[in-house]
Every structure is written in C-alpha cells, then in structure tokens.
C-alpha cells in the first residue's frame, strides 16, 4: 500500500466522540516506550504524525488519523506506566476497555512488544483480554534492528512458543519491524490493505 495521505483527525477519551463514519480502523497499543510512535511515523512516512515523547504515559488519548482517506489508524495510550496515579490508571483502563468493547469500526488491534524482551505478563494478559472479548489482533515486534539475526529469530520463536504454551491454539498474525530501517513496513501495510480489500 502506498501512503498518499495521513492526517490527524481527533483526540479524545470517549468512544462516542470518535469519528462516526464506518471506515475500517486499526488500533495500535503497547507498553510505553515500546516504539509505537516511531512505528506509526515509519508506517505513514511522516516524521511527526504520532508524537514520540520523552515522557511516556503523558498523553492518555484515543488518537485518530485518517490514512489515504479510507481507513483510520488509531494511536492508543501506552499502558503499564508506573508513574500514572492509581485513579488515573483506573480511568485509563476504563476508557481503553470501552474503546475495545464498543468500537464497531475496529477491524484489528495491534499489540506492540519490544522484540528484545521475554513475554511480559502485562502484554500477554492484554492479548488474553482481547481474545476473551473476540477482538482480532496481531502482534508487532518492534526494534528488530537492535538484535542480530540469530537472536531476533530466537526471540520471536520464544515468544510464539510462550503463546502456544499459554491459552493460544495458534499464533496470531505477527510482524517483525524496525522503525529505524523500515523492516516490516511493506508486510504490515499489505496485511492492512488485504483486509481493507475484502
């Protein structure tokens, strides 16, 4: 898929204030600092579409971007940020779960995980939450350039095995990416394009 246009539409915390037309949308979520903003900028070929921030967890908003005027890319807040107070954490979780459970236009979520790390409960539990609610998702491994090919392959295999040892009967669609050298960009955009065409 060629990106012809990528524009910010709206940020908010309420599903009912999200765009009301029926365009398909794809939501990106992961731990703070996982490389979500960098990935979104890499995918859309825009330097600052998503704000890479030095203060992870600061912006807790559902951010809609419209791509090629025919699908939405949704940038969700990073989770698991320790410095968020308990009350704002509860609020955060509520509006995120509201989004996932109510947003009918959502075609797929993408859960981002740093490929350098072993599976973290916060991520695998979130995937389980999506599974339990029947929300399709893919996994995006980020920062692939930080590992040598052997280690990269080993970590991806470990992650897949951990999922199969958990509740999953099959591994969800997954993508190995790097915002630094654009690894995985074509595959991920082709995947989204493929769904949009059906």
Under rule CB under 6 A, residue 143 binds ligand GDP: yes
Name the minimum Å distance from CB 105 to ligand GDP.
23
Q: Quick one: tokens of 157? A: 């295999």
Q: Quick one: tokens of 7? A: 């524009």
Instruction: Give whichever of 44 and 142 is closer to ligand GDP, judged by the CB atom.
Output: 142
Q: Considering only residues 26, 28, 29, 32, which one is a binding residue for ligand GDP as defined by CB under 6 A?
A: 32
Under rule CB under 6 A, residue 80 binds ligand GDP: no
Pairing of strands 62-67, 137-142: unpaired
Name the minimum Å distance from CB 180 to ligand GDP.
4
Q: Considering only residues 59, 61, 145, 196, which one is a binding residue for ligand GDP as defined by CB under 6 A?
A: 145
Identify which of 91, 89, 69, 65 has the alpha carbon closest to the alpha carbon of residue 79.
89
**Inter-residue contact 85 to 172 (CB < 8 Å):** no
C-alpha angle with apex 86: 80 to 91, nearest 5 degrees? 80
- Stretch touching ligand GDP by CB under 6 A, among 65-73, 99-107, 125-133, 141-149: 141-149
CA distances from residue 61 to 15, 42, 77, 178 in whole angstroms, order as listed: 11, 20, 6, 24
Instruction: Give whichever of 8 and 167 is closer to ligand GDP, judged by the CB atom.
Output: 8
**Inter-residue contact 85 to 36 (CB < 8 Å):** no
Under rule CB under 6 A, residue 56 binds ligand GDP: yes
Chain residues in the site for ligand GDP (CB under 6 A): 32-38, 52-53, 56, 78, 142-143, 145-146, 178-180
């Amino acid at each position: 898929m060629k990106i012809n246009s990528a524009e910010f539409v709206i940020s908010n915390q309420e599903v009912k204030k999200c765009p009301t037309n029926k365009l398909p949308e794809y939501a990106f979520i992961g731990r703070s600092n996982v490389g979500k903003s960098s990935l979104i900028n890499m995918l859309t070929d825009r330097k600052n579409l998503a704000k890479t921030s030095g203060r992870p967890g600061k912006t807790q908003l559902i951010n809609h971007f419209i791509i090629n005027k025919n699908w939405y890319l949704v940038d969700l807040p990073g989770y698991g940020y320790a410095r968020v107070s308990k009350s704002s954490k509860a609020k955060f979780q509520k509006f995120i779960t509201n989004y996932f459970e109510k947003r009918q236009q959502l075609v797929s979520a993408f859960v981002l995980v740093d490929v350098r790390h072993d599976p973290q409960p916060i991520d695998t539990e979130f995937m389980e939450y999506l599974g339990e609610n029947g929300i399709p998702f893919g996994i995006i491994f980020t920062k692939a350039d930080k590992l040598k090919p052997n280690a990269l392959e080993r970590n991806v295999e470990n992650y897949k095995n951990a999922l199969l040892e958990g509740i999953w009967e099959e591994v969800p669609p997954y993508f190995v990416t790097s915002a630094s050298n654009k690894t995985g960009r074509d595959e991920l955009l082709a995947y989204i394009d493929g769904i949009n065409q059906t």
